[in-house]
């Protein structure tokens, strides 16, 4: 089953069809919303808006552990996370879809692991390649087949939020080699890895990052988010058969 995690601008997805709300509890409490589970074009899927059904949870308050655990408990075998981001280099403009291949974690104070030693065990996971190669390839295949532009490869900077960054912070992220910046990429990707769930991120660029664009960031996000999310939804629907083969 392919899990689709929705982010800002994607807390409802009526075009997915008649999915059944499924309430799940986890050792970490309930996920942000009931999971919507069913089949789309014959492919088993479940959808979870990571910020809650009414987009009520800010990035630092999301219960990432409950979300990921809940998806796995519902039968997910792969996770595609849709994430809204700002772009740092000029060649990635608002509205672009980006498939990151690396991540740098600048978040703090979040429950970031299932392996916190409570059971007397110390466990580490490899995270050299944080995103699953087969899922990334499936998304690239679907984008190519449908003629949907998808930028292959970027480093995602996961910031704490909920405020946007300063210009100097974005300068620093650029020096660190980051290309896109968002607030939810971590610990989500690491928790998926800890659960053995293949995970890929489809990033939707809503704005140029702080100090890079000509107009106010919030106005820019408002202006571009809907079209970007629409393109992401089209890509994901086209990608489901590809993902089902690889997930």
- Where on the chain is the footprint of ligand HPA (CB under 6 A)? 84-86, 159, 164-165, 181-183, 206-207, 209, 217, 221
Number of helices and strands (H, E) in the chain?
5, 11
Q: How far is the CB of 217 from ligand HPA (least distance, A)?
A: 6
Q: Considering the complex, state which of residue 154 and residue 209 has its C-beta at the smaller distance from ligand HPA.
A: 209
Q: How far is the CB of 237 from ligand HPA (least distance, A)?
A: 23
Q: How far is the CB of 82 from ligand HPA (least distance, A)?
A: 12
Q: Considering the complex, state which of residue 49 and residue 86 has its C-beta at the smaller distance from ligand HPA.
A: 86
Residue 82 Cα distances to 74, 218, 229, angstroms? 19, 19, 9
| Nearest residue (beta carbon) to ligand HPA | 86
Q: How far is the CB of 204 from ligand HPA (least distance, A)?
A: 9
Contact predicate 177/123, CB 8 Å: no
- Nearest residue to 94 via CA among 203, 219, 224: 224
Q: Considering the complex, state which of residue 19 and residue 229 has its C-beta at the smaller distance from ligand HPA.
A: 229
* Rounded Cα gap, residues 129 and 28, in angstroms: 26
Q: How far is the CB of 219 from ligand HPA (least distance, A)?
A: 12
Q: Considering the complex, state which of residue 63 and residue 207 has its C-beta at the smaller distance from ligand HPA.
A: 207
* Rounded Cα gap, residues 62 and 41, in angstroms: 30
Q: How far is the CB of 241 from ligand HPA (least distance, A)?
A: 30
Give strand pairing partners of 43: 40
* Rounded Cα gap, residues 79 and 197, in angstroms: 7
- Give per-residue burial for 172-199: e unless 16+ CB within 10 Å, then b: ebbeeebbbbbbbbbbbbbbbbbbebbb
Q: Considering the complex, state which of residue 45 and residue 205 has its C-beta at the smaller distance from ligand HPA.
A: 205
Q: Considering the complex, state which of residue 85 and residue 192 has its C-beta at the smaller distance from ligand HPA.
A: 85
């Amino acid at each position: 089953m392919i899990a689709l995690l929705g982010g800002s601008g994607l807390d409802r997805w009526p075009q997915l069809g008649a999915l059944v709300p499924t309430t799940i509890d986890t050792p970490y409490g309930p996920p942000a919303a009931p999971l919507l589970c069913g089949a789309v074009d014959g492919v088993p899927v479940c959808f979870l808006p990571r910020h809650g059904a009414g987009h009520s949870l800010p990035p630092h308050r999301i219960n990432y552990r409950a979300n990921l655990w809940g998806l796995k408990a519902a039968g997910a075998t792969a996770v595609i996370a849709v994430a809204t981001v700002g772009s740092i280099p000029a060649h990635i403009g608002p509205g672009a879809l980006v498939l990151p291949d690396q991540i740098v974690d600048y978040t703090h104070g979040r429950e970031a692991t299932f392996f916190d030693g409570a059971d007397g065990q110390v466990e580490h996971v490899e995270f050299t390649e944080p995103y699953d190669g087969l899922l990334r390839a499936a998304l690239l295949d679907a984008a190519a087949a449908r003629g949907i532009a998808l930028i292959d490869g970027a480093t995602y900077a996961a910031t704490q939020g909920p405020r946007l960054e300063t210009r100097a912070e974005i300068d620093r992220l650029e020096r660190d080699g980051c290309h896109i910046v968002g607030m939810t990429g971590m610990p989500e990707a690491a928790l998926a890895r800890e659960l053995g769930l293949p995970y890929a991120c489809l990033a939707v660029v809503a704005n140029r990052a702080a100090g890079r664009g000509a107009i106010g960031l919030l106005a820019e996000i408002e202006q571009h988010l809907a079209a970007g999310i629409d393109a992401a939804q089209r890509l994901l629907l086209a990608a489901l058969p590809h993902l089902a083969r690889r997930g």
